[in-house]
């Protein structure tokens, strides 16, 4: 077969540890034999980030703005132990955080569903995609412990210098706590637009939930901004695409989610998204089957697996032992990026390749061939546990 041609490169962000090993094997076994891959390569390994003073991360994000589509390997976010382990110059920031702030993106997390791995909620047949607003609220709040007898107020200094004082609490007889948090319209606007764009690109309904009945100004602002943007910019396109947008109270959203069959995007405020995405990942079965895409309001896409660099498996690999590490989420990051590239450049055979690769992978797991992590949770009767290389070889031969 002639290799599938590409016209524009995708941005390739390599990473660390076991996922770096998976990365190379996916390319060698599943991509390069079939696709004449055009990629602009950035090495985001911890060693190279240290060497380049993290400039490589910034460069890779800027390249994503240039080309529109990126695929990213999991990377180490250094903590004190990692600084020591690698002798780093400093505790570099999370690459995902750096990339997200440059692209002004929202992360959408979506589970890969296969027969035999049943979600804990039996009615869920299709993915529930969660979108978390990753700016503000309690994540950049100021909080304090307050002694009894104190008074806490919010003071707003207006542009003309005048001040507005709002009493929070007179701490008469008891010590207590107080928190001040904020959000900005620019960020809420971007979040809303990104969610509407992604719903259109995936042809999925969009839900948004908040607590506007209690938080009459704060959460209500989110609700109003979503509604205004929807009415003014997206309503007709949603109707044409046959999808819907609806807002509901977060409590009601929970009740509906539990009874739904899935197949929608759920946009959440920052804290809700943090908590509910962990709940959904667990309930859908496995972190190794969770994909993630960062979408910017300007239409840039960066695909990755939701899991980390799997150091425990890497240490076995370094000792020369075969590991049964699950490459599916990383493989789907590649197919997601190639499909998006194909759609943007009108390359039907590249889109078709991505579809077939995903189907081959799912068919393989559903016919009983899987890595150890899935074998533990799969309800299929006959299962064969494969190591990483065997699994990828079998996907390629099925393709
Ligand atoms: P992790 O790498 O996701 O691994 C946690 C455990 O989950 C593994 O030990 C393994 O369990 C299981 N697991 C995850 N992915 C798997 C797969 N594909 N196949 C089989 N099992 C899998 O999380 P972590 O240990 O908390 O973090 C390790 C490093 O990753 C950290 O340095 C962190 O900074 C980084 N990280 C990066 C990203 C990112 O780049 N997006 C995200 C999260 C974490 P068993 O050991 O039981 O087999
Ligand atoms: Mg969380």
Q: Judge if the beta carbon of residue 287 lies within 6 A of ligand 1.
A: yes
Tell me the backbone φ, ψ of residue 317, rounded to 5 degrees.
-60, -40
Å from CA of 335 to ligand 2 middle: 26
Task: Produce one character per residue of 60-94: b if its CB has 16 or more CB atoms within 10 Å, e if not.
Answer: bbebbeebbbbbbbbbbbbeeebbeebebeeebee
Atom 1 in ligand 1: which residue has the minimum CA distance?
308
Q: Say whether 118-139+182-284 and 1-107+291-399 share the same fold.
A: yes
Q: Is the distance from CB of 323 to CB of 387 less than 8 angstroms?
A: yes
Å from CA of 310 to ligand 1 middle: 4
Atom 44 in ligand 1: which residue has the minimum CA distance?
308
What is the pTM assigned to this prediction?
Answer: 0.90
Position of tokens 């609700």?
223
Of 21, 278, 309, best ligand 1 pocket probe by most atoms within 8 Å of the beta carbon = 309
Residues 6+ apart with CB under 8 A from 295: 105, 106, 108, 194, 197, 198, 201, 301
Per-residue pLDDT of the chain (399 residues; tens, 9 = 90+): 799 999 999 999 999 999 999 999 999 999 999 999 999 999 999 999 999 999 999 999 999 999 999 999 999 999 999 999 999 999 999 999 899 889 888 999 999 999 999 888 989 999 999 999 988 899 888 999 999 999 999 999 999 999 999 999 999 999 999 999 999 999 999 999 999 999 999 999 999 999 999 999 999 999 999 999 999 999 999 999 999 999 999 999 999 999 999 999 999 999 999 889 888 988 888 888 999 999 988 889 999 999 999 999 999 999 999 899 999 999 999 999 999 999 999 999 999 999 999 999 999 999 999 999 999 999 999 999 999 999 999 999 999
Q: Strands 128-132 and 264-268: what pairing?
A: parallel
CA dihedral 317, 321, 322, 328 (to 10 degrees): -30
For the chain, the domains span: 1-107+291-399, 118-139+182-284, 142-180
Tell me the backbone φ, ψ of residue 159, rounded to 5 degrees.
-55, -30
Other beta carbons within 10 angstroms of residue 349's beta carbon come to: 13
pLDDT of residue 131: 96
Å from CA of 18 to ligand 1 middle: 9
Of 305, 307, 330, best ligand 1 pocket probe by most atoms within 8 Å of the beta carbon = 307
Atom 25 in ligand 1: which residue has the minimum CA distance?
310
Q: Which of 3.40.50.11540, 3.40.50.720, 3.40.630.10, 3.40.718.10 would CATH assign to domain 118-139+182-284?
A: 3.40.718.10
Q: Where do the H-state alpha helices sit in the chain? A: 17-25, 46-51, 55-67, 80-86, 95-103, 185-202, 218-229, 235-241, 250-259, 270-284, 311-318, 328-344, 348-366, 372-377, 388-398
Q: Judge if the beta carbon of residue 308 lies within 6 A of ligand 1.
A: yes
Residues measured by CB to lie within 5 Å of ligand 2, the ion? 274, 278
Q: Judge if the beta carbon of residue 77 lies within 6 A of ligand 1.
A: yes
Atom 32 in ligand 1: which residue has the minimum CA distance?
76
Å from CA of 250 to ligand 2 middle: 17
Q: Give me the CATH topology for the region 1-107+291-399.
A: Isopropylmalate Dehydrogenase (3.40.718)
Q: Strands 150-157 and 301-305: what pairing?
A: unpaired
The most distant pair of C-alpha atoms in the chain lies apart, rounded to whole Å, by 80
Atom of ligand 1 nearest to the CA of 305: 41
Task: Classify the C-alpha dihedral 386-388-393-399 as positive or negative.
Answer: positive
Other beta carbons within 10 angstroms of residue 251's beta carbon come to: 11
The ligand with the least distance to the CA atom of 387 is: 1
Q: Strands 69-72 and 10-14: what pairing?
A: parallel
Other beta carbons within 10 angstroms of residue 146's beta carbon come to: 17
């Amino acid at each position: 077969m002639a290799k599938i041609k590409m016209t524009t490169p995708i941005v390739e962000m390599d990473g660390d540890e076991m996922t770096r090993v998976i990365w190379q094997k996916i390319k060698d076994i599943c991509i390069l034999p079939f696709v004449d891959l055009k990629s602009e390569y950035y090495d985001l390994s911890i060693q190279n980030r240290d060497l380049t003073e993290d400039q490589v991360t910034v460069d890779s994000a800027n390249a994503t703005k240039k080309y529109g589509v990126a695929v990213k390997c999991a990377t180490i976010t250094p903590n004190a132990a990692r600084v020591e382990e690698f002798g780093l110059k400093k505790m570099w920031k999370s690459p995902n955080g750096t990339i997200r702030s440059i692209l002004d993106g929202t992360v959408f997390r979506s589970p890969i569903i296969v027969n035999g791995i049943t979600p804990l909620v039996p009615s869920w047949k299709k993915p529930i995609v969660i979108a978390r607003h990753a700016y503000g609220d309690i994540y950049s709040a100021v909080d304090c412990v307050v002694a009894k007898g104190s008074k806490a107020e919010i003071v707003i200094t207006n542009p003309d210098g005048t001040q507005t004082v709002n009493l929070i609490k007179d701490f008469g007889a008891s010590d207590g706590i107080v928190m001040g948090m904020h959000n900005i319209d620019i960020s809420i606007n971007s979040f809303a637009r990104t969610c509407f764009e992604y719903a259109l690109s995936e042809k999925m309904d969009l839900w948004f939930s908040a607590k506007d009945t209690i938080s009459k100004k704060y959460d209500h602002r989110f609700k109003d901004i979503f509604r205004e943007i929807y009415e003014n910019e997206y309503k007709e396109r949603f109707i044409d695409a046959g999808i819907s947008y609806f807002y509901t109270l977060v409590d009601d959203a929970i009740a509906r989610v539990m009874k739904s069959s899935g197949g929608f995007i759920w946009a959440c405020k920052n804290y809700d998204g943090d908590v509910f995405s962990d709940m959904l990942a667990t309930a859908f079965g496995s972190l190794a089957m969770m994909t993630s895409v960062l979408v910017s309001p300007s239409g840039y896409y960066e695909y990755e697996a939701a899991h980390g660099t799997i150091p425990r498996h890497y240490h076995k690999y370094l000792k020369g032992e075969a590991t049964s590490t699950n490459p599916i989420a990383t493989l789907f990051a590649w197919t997601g990026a190639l499909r998006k590239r194909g759609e943007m450049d009108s390359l039907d055979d590249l889109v078709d390749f991505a579809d077939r690769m995903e189907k081959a992978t799912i068919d393989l797991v559903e016919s009983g061939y899987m890595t150890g992590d899935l074998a533990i949770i799969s309800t299929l009767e006959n299962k064969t546990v494969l190591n990483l290389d065997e699994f990828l070889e079998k996907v390629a031969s099925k393709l």
